[in-house]
Amino acid sequence: MGQAWTSLVVEGCAAEAEAAIEAVQAPGEEVSIPLLTGDDKRCCMRFVVRKFGRKSCFLFSCGHTLPTCSGVPSWPLEIRNAEGQGKSAYAVSDLPENQILLEEEPFYTRTPPAELHGRPEWDEDWSAAFTRIKAPMRLPGGESEKEKPLLASTALVRDVLGFVKMPESLRGALMSFSFPPLDLEHGLVDVALQLAKLCKERLPECKAFQVEWLQVGILVTEMNIFPGGRVFWTMSRINHSCAPNCVFTNAPGRWGLRTLRPIRKGEELTISYLGEELLLPTSQRRWLLWRSKCFICQCSRCTSSEDPLRDRACICLGRAPLSWRVVHKPAVWQRADPSTKSRAVALLKEGFVFASTGEIRRTAEGAWVQVEKCEVNGQTSGWGLIDGAALGLGRLIEPCEGRLPSLCPQDGVAPGELRDRLQKRALASRAGLRLNWYDGDNLERHLLPAASAATQWRRDDGDDEDIDTETGAEVQGPAFLPIGWARLRGECWHCRCGCITKAMAAEKELSEVAQRVFALSLPEQPRASQAGVKGLALPDEGFVLTALRLADDAGRLFGRRHWIWQWGLLFAVDLDLSLIRYTYMQWDAAFASRTTAMLIEVWDWLTSLGLSQEPSLFLHSRAQRLAKELESVILPNHPKDRFRELQGELRRRLEASSPSVSLLPPREFIPGSLFIAH
């Protein structure tokens, strides 16, 4: 414990390397040895040397750069102590984006579950004691318990068995990794202690170990383990950031580290210990990291007072300008309802200026603005058609100041339509179906005006204030937000028109539910076990419809930049892809266009968050599958053009992005009621 590791690079051939290793005096020195391979290419092996006594020397290969690399090899990173916070990895040179820095084999893999099977110790006494192990989980600072207590798991037992069975030298190596202090007030530290006591008492392999050692064995494994139960000499030392500059890549049998963006020499290398949870709001990310890895994240995203994942639409977004002038000669009709078939309530002469309520309504005839009742002006309430194109006329009325909200037809699916869309298409109507985990009925009073909720956020939405006047480029930076969108700062959302605190409690409540519902793993869902459909989840129809309704509601409350809406879109895209693959449903151009538009909307959202240089990291595998499915879509005449446009847009994005790791692989699930066993 607490041993210092140093790096020593040895140039030369294998024989020289051996000599160099011989010469290493201090135990625990790390040696990097460049080796010549065929074709004059150089490759490098990396070893850790541990000496025991005079002669015995324990070596393990802890990584190698790609065999394909050429030129003078250099180890891309350096592990050293960061100021006041343990060890960190730093770039030793400038690194380009999207480059594999190293590939590495695990030096330790956790005991497989099979080794636990059929042991005589698993009797009733054991299971009684095992299930009694629990500890409360709370954030430091004494905040009340946020979740259910932490329990012991069989994974932790496997940690113990792996730890006591490994060679002493390996154990020493593992102990050089970080783990929380044993007096830390944390549920996992507590559970590890209780389990360590039980194991020492009951398992023969553990008898020779002190309880504290077993506890450390659990903690050090849990803190440094990667998905699949592996610990890596180099990669397990890389710290977490919620805005990581590197990513762990995981192809079968190959584990590596890839850069996500250009990294400067001396910069700390970071990866994310979270999966899709990286796209959760700060408070939820921090909680998950504290629960699983025992630290309070201090990354740039977590310490920022702003949280762009919780951006919400403001009522001012979809609102029409308040003052309008009639521009059509000689006059236009004001209607009781937004329809030319509706009763005419007034004739508004050209040049007449009237006040609007700000409400806009879109119909097949065009957009209508609501006229405000005003006794001074002699106005009655009603509606005025803005553009007469559908009637063979030009512009009828125009705003006196400000600009018209975007009136072009919206792509994709607007909040409120997700559930209906599936119900119409694939499911028997089950209106009124209730599930106890979500009931959004009390949210009605917080809903945004329909136009604000439906407005799609676009990258080019910025008004003049946000455009650099010389280059015409968007001004980047955390402060940038298109008009009508509010960003959470401190305890309220800030729009240019003011401060919003409305529906904050509802938002937090919905977030807790959404985090569980939209998780990639779709927890506790029944699965199809038939051959050929391995892994296909078959959730209850009610689960799927309620999940879509949750996304609809979040969209109608907070608009289309809010993370719950975006996660809902991903859920809907995955559902569409699964329906095509596993049911007899066929896509028509209209349906497929909207699926494509939904994926593009998420893509734009990820781009705007700037979490990596390349949003396709999150979406590539899903987008590829969609692009392939689109090739088999039946094309009628009408929506063909729009379909072609969207298909082209998706292809263009795929071509412009390099195939890389997929941080958010698509889920496979269809409502169980639609599953037909073959």
The residues binding Zn ion (CB under 5 A) are: 43-44, 65, 69, 73, 242, 297, 299, 302, 314, 316, 492, 495, 497, 499
Q: Where are the alpha helices (DSSP H) in 152-207?
A: 154-165, 168-175, 187-202
Q: How far is CA 55 from CA 17, 26, 48, 61, 173, in A?
A: 17, 13, 16, 19, 18
Helices 187-202 & 124-132, crossing angle to 10 degrees? 160
Calpha distance 52→9 (Å, rounded): 22
Q: How far is CA 304 from CA 295, 344, 396, in A?
A: 17, 54, 47
Q: Which CB sits closer to Zn ion, 103 or 553?
A: 103
Angle at 323 between CA 318 and CA 324, to 5 degrees: 95
Q: Which CB sits closer to Zn ion, 44 or 198?
A: 44
Per the CB < 8 A criterion, the answer to whether 223 and 293 are in contact is: yes
Q: Which CB sits closer to Zn ion, 151 or 404?
A: 404
User: Mind spelling out the 3-state secondary structure of 288-302?
Assistant: HHHHHHCCCCCCHHH
Q: Which CB sits closer to Zn ion, 327 or 497?
A: 497
Q: Which CB sits closer to Zn ion, 73 or 318?
A: 73
Q: Which CB sits closer to Zn ion, 43 or 646?
A: 43
Calpha distance 485→637 (Å, rounded): 37
Backbone φ, ψ for residue 389 (5° rounding): -55, -40
Q: Which CB sits closer to Zn ion, 71 or 118?
A: 71
| 550 CB neighbour count, 10 Å cutoff | 26
In the complex, what is the shortest distance from the CB of residue 146 to Zn ion, in angstroms, rounded to a whole number?
17
In the complex, what is the shortest distance from the CB of residue 73 to Zn ion, in angstroms, rounded to a whole number?
4
Q: Which CB sits closer to Zn ion, 46 or 653?
A: 46
> By CB neighbour count within 10 A (0-12 exposed, 13-18 middle, 19+ buried), where does 593 fall?
buried
In the complex, what is the shortest distance from the CB of residue 282 to Zn ion, in angstroms, rounded to a whole number?
7
Q: Which CB sits closer to Zn ion, 155 or 499?
A: 499
In the complex, what is the shortest distance from the CB of residue 384 to Zn ion, in angstroms, rounded to a whole number?
24
In the complex, what is the shortest distance from the CB of residue 142 to Zn ion, in angstroms, rounded to a whole number?
22
Q: Which CB sits closer to Zn ion, 236 or 282?
A: 282
Q: Which amino acid is at 505?
A: A
Q: Which CB sits closer to Zn ion, 278 or 522?
A: 278
Query: For the chain, percent helix, then strand, then coil, each to nearest 5?
Result: 35, 20, 45
For 478-490, letters b (16+ CB in 10 Å) and e give: eeebbbbbbbbee
DSSP conformation class of 53: T
In the complex, what is the shortest distance from the CB of residue 61 to Zn ion, in angstroms, rounded to a whole number?
13
Q: Which amino acid is at 459?
A: R
Q: Which CB sits closer to Zn ion, 495 or 598?
A: 495
Q: Which CB sits closer to Zn ion, 270 or 578?
A: 270
What does 323-355 look like in DSSP terms, one character per residue?
A: EEEE-SSSEEEEESSSSTTSPEEEEEETT-EEE
Q: Which residue has the tokens 């179906």?
A: 433
Coil/strand/helix, residue 633: coil
In the complex, what is the shortest distance from the CB of residue 8 to Zn ion, in angstroms, rounded to a whole number?
17
In the complex, what is the shortest distance from the CB of residue 251 to Zn ion, in angstroms, rounded to a whole number?
18
Both tokens assigned to 208: 């020779």
E-state strands within 53-164: 56-64, 77-81, 87-91, 100-104, 108-109, 134-135, 150-151
Calpha distance 495→505 (Å, rounded): 19
Helices 640-656 & 616-630, crossing angle to 10 degrees? 140
Per the CB < 8 A criterion, the answer to whether 361 and 367 are in contact is: yes
In the complex, what is the shortest distance from the CB of residue 158 to Zn ion, in angstroms, rounded to a whole number?
28
In the complex, what is the shortest distance from the CB of residue 291 to Zn ion, in angstroms, rounded to a whole number?
14
The residues, ordered by sequence, that sit 6+ positions from 290 with a Cβ below 8 Å of its Cβ are 139, 140, 186, 296, 297
Q: Which CB sits closer to Zn ion, 297 or 326?
A: 297
In the complex, what is the shortest distance from the CB of residue 298 to Zn ion, in angstroms, rounded to a whole number?
7
In the complex, what is the shortest distance from the CB of residue 58 to Zn ion, in angstroms, rounded to a whole number?
24
In the complex, what is the shortest distance from the CB of residue 316 to Zn ion, in angstroms, rounded to a whole number?
3
In the complex, what is the shortest distance from the CB of residue 499 to Zn ion, in angstroms, rounded to a whole number?
4
Q: Which CB sits closer to Zn ion, 92 or 497?
A: 497
The residues, ordered by sequence, that sit 6+ positions from 448 with a Cβ below 8 Å of its Cβ are 313, 315, 317, 318, 556, 557, 558, 559
Both tokens assigned to 568: 């809902």
In the complex, what is the shortest distance from the CB of residue 358 to Zn ion, in angstroms, rounded to a whole number?
12
Q: Which CB sits closer to Zn ion, 91 or 646?
A: 91
Residue closest to 239 by CA, chosen among 259, 229, 251, 224? 224
Q: Which amino acid is at 200?
A: K
Q: How far is CA 330 from CA 327, 346, 351, 353, 397, in A?
A: 9, 14, 9, 14, 12
In the complex, what is the shortest distance from the CB of residue 321 to Zn ion, in angstroms, rounded to a whole number?
14
